[in-house]
Amino acid sequence: MTARATTALLQPIVHSDPAVSVVVPTIPENDHDAVVAALERQTADAYDVLVVNDPDLGVCEARNLGLERVDGEIVAFTDDDCRPPVGWIEAIRRAFDERDDLVVLEGPVDGGMTYEGRRKYPTCNLAVDRRTAIDAGGFDERFEYWREDTEFGWRVEEYGTAVYDERVRMVHPDRPRSSIDRENERLLRRRHPEKYEVVIVPDTLAGRVNDWLWRKGVWDAVDAVRYGTGVRQRG
């Protein structure tokens, strides 16, 4: 796990002994005020927030830097275009309190992005045991902007228990700004072939046909028509 030193670290919410530390990667071009405002309204106590706001850091570097700098035993990740419901941090803390062996936690996502839990570990709604995440090596920068979350989660889950918790809900109002990187996809499959077959390629004929269409760029073309083609940005 590597991350370049940076001075663009903002701590809008401070606590002397946080149980949960939230890390939000962003860049100056992106507005992070709304996500910070949502985090300020949380029902939980004993938490802090670190915003890594540096245009020279990739999203993996930014999250790794957050892992290194925060103090909470639990680190929660979200993105600058998300809106955490008021009970988000409290639900994360409760889930970890209920299981001593919990190392990686995911939950549902609603809005422009939807997720119902299949061990893909989207970082818009992800929490980890900090020490375990560091021991696992943090985010692999080779997966920058595509599958870095899934690859990270698959490594962390080897150290303990992974849980999908309906209570840990996130709102992602807009469609994600990332797009498919086929080289990252091939690398993920090479590094984790068994997990890839179980999680990414559903074991059904329809699922495999859909997977084939996706790899051939059909769904990319459909999305380009529906949403317009965007530039990859942090979050």
- pLDDT exceeds cutoff 90 at 84: yes
| Predicted confidence (pLDDT) at residue 231 exceeds the cutoff of 60 | no
Nearest to 172 by CA among 221, 91, 105, 107: 107
**Mean pLDDT of the chain, nearest integer:** 87
Q: What is the pLDDT of residues 169-205, one digit of tens each?
A: 999 987 766 678 889 999 999 999 999 988 987 654 5
Contact 134, 75 (CB under 8 A): no
Q: What element of type H or E holds 98?
A: helix 88-98
C-alpha distances in Å from residue 92, one per residue of 32, 86, 125, 151: 21, 12, 10, 21
Over 60: is that where the pLDDT of 229 sits?
Answer: no
Where is 68: in which H helix or E strand? helix 59-69
- Rounded Cα distance between 65 and 159, Å, is 21
Contact 27, 55 (CB under 8 A): yes
| 122 vs 181, more confident | 122
For strand 47-53 and strand 20-26, is the pairing parallel, antiparallel, or unpaired?
Answer: parallel
Find the mean pLDDT for residues 84-88: 98
Dihedral angle at the C-alpha atoms of 105, 67, 21, 31, nearest 10 degrees? -100
Is residue 190 classed exposed, middle or buried when 0-12, 13-18 and 19+ CB atoms within 10 A define those classes? Answer: exposed
**pTM reported for the whole predicted model:** 0.84
**How far is 15 from 170, CA to CA, in rounded Å?**
23
Query: Is pLDDT at 224 greater than 50 in this prediction?
Result: yes
Burial string for 54-81 (b: 16+ CB within 10 Å, else e) reads beebbbbbbbbbbbeebebebbbbbbbb
Residue 212 pLDDT: 59
Q: Going from the N-terminus, what domains does the chain have, and what CATH number goes with each?
A: 9-177 (3.90.550.10)
pLDDT of residue 178: 67
